[in-house]
Structure 1
Amino acid sequence: MTSTLEVLHVKPGPAAREVLPQLKRALAGGGPALLPVPAADDREIRRLTEALHPGDPIDESTALVVATSGTTGTPKGAMLTAGALRASGQATHARLGGPGSWLLALPPHHIAGIQVLLRGILAGTEPVIVDVATGFDPALLPDAIAAMTGARRYTSLVPTQLIKALDHPAATAALAELDAVLLGGAATPAPVLERARTAGITVVRTYGMSETCGGCVYDGVPLDGVRVRIEDSRVLLGGPVLATGYRGLPDHPAFAEPGWFRTDDAGLLSGGVLSISGRLDEAISTGGLTVVPQVVEAALSTHPAVAECAVFGVPDARLGQRVAAAVVPVPGTAPTLEELRAHVEPALDSTAAPRELHLMVALPLRGPGKVDRRALAAQLTSRTKG
């Protein structure tokens, strides 16, 4: 049986509450299938609708089609059933200690933001919403968190937001009042996690993607019902939270094995705990060595002058690619390439240490909090050639 995919225009800020009735029907399996798009962004609406074809038939079991942020620039649409969305929300509440009220501080058309709204619906609570349409302002957190009600209170952030909040004492204190702050979307530097925990913030690191209804592994441990296995260092995920496939791509290899999703992430499973080392499609081949950017970033982030960083490969006539680093320095500092190489070489092969450094005010992002390495490489390579 089929139905038709319909566009769901999600407004920014508190007006996002207007879609709660449609999301409630979707969560109950009442249809129609919905494609969330940002109501105020005509360019993004065109990009998503051209790729995912609202108005065309779709299997009636589909509740939401959620666009992936992707690394190729062409969005894919993960088809999520009502059962998968309910399983995700229920498993989240079970892991966190019970249903509660939720603060939305993420773009509400991405999976992480949608899930905040859906979890609130499951819990029977009204979301408190911070408008992030023009950027995240940590100064808004204290009043927003003070407005939350109920025995348990939660929010979901990405690492760049947490970094900003930690530099704002009132925002830090407000986050420390919550029962849990889910942190996903990208790897979080260890020093940032340590700062947050020292400040009393209950951080729960999440791993997942649109294809798994968002985070499905918390602090390395799969949620109830979620299955994880490693195949040739690649992470595969299964369980009731899994999408049924991609919109219009029935033969996509990521869903080739029934009941499993093949991620592009490399990981290790030890004692039932999953650790992610990086993305297989972002590895740098330099001088015959394969370098995982996230491993280098983890080493760089321990330098006291590094607030944020991203590592990527740029063409090199001798090495094939050379390792480059973009660094947002701690205010008042200006780390040099020589300092950073000396800092990371005790932990890394010297070939993996950065050979090029760019100091930046901010890192380009795609989706909710993921560094856009391709855009970064293109931007900085062009700047170097110019």
Structure 2
Amino acid sequence: MRPGARYVDPENRRGRGAASRETGRFERYAHVDADDGWGIAPDIAPLRTEVTEERPRSMINFVRSPDLPFDRTLNPYRGCEHGCIYCFARPTHAWLGLSPGLDFETRLVARPDAPAVLQRELRAPRYRVAPIAIGTNTDPYQPVERDRGIMRGCLQVLHDCDHPVGIVTKGTLIERDIDILSPMAAKGLVRVGITVTTLDADLSRRMEPRVPLPARRLQTIRRLSEAGIEVRLMVSPVIPALTDPELERILEAGAEAGATAASWIMLRLPLEVSPLWQDWLAEHYPDRARRIMARLREMHGGRDYDARWHHRMRGEGHYATLIAHRFRRATRKLGLDRTLPELRRDLFRPPALPGDQLALF
């Protein structure tokens, strides 16, 4: 165990991915748990999910990364209850003064005004249409969406003005929105990526504790495909000596479920993710921990992670080359090596509001 880390008793964090909640890296003071003098131990009760609200001034986040096939994203929530221990977005919670560990998955921020703010941004005279990526930071179909419906509201705005969108999720709640997605897909306006990290239900429950099990996600691929929605199977992340033996089997299962393309990303351990990941390995797979970390460091010049463009997603060296070769061979065999057509932009029209003057033509 790391000295100074704020570990929480396993009984009080059941169903969570991280084991600790140390202070975020931008905080001036560190927080520690201590007996308050009344004989009541801290963290005596199980951790509950807390949701606060934020009123954003903007929703579209423009990004400039040569590694990404899009230049703008949208996030209905901050933090993610799915609790995937490997999530590269965990460090973003430090900007809120919260822990990238347990706070990331238990102290969420919802943005209920997101649909209205998005509509306003799309009406701006200077706005130029391009696909918006949703789900690239935190999952828009995490459990809290069932009650909040913020993602559905944003999707309705995009549907009503024929705006292209790409969605990435592990959440089967996306099936609720097939009534919106299917007509958009018929116009070439939407594409969905479903992430399947492993087919092992036990490993999945340990590693991504509040994500629907792999078999259920494959069923979601099938239901979306049957509704005419193109689905990309995302094998992400590939974890050396843990999930990499499953690579071909995952691709076969995705193809059988109806996926039309596939992609992969190697495990990434930026900033606080690395110590959180290593804590998780020590707790769940101590016999493989050294081997897994050795393979990762081989791909990043001896470091846990290298954030260079064109390197961070796949790594380099013999192991990374081997995974890439296996992936290419399997996708070619299964017909998943397709390059999907670009989403249409020509149908977009700025959202109309009550009272707007109607167009003459």
TM-score normalised by length of structure 2: 0.32
TM-score by length of 1: 0.30
Larger strand percent: 1
Q: Which has the higher contact order (CA 8 A, sep 6+)?
A: 2
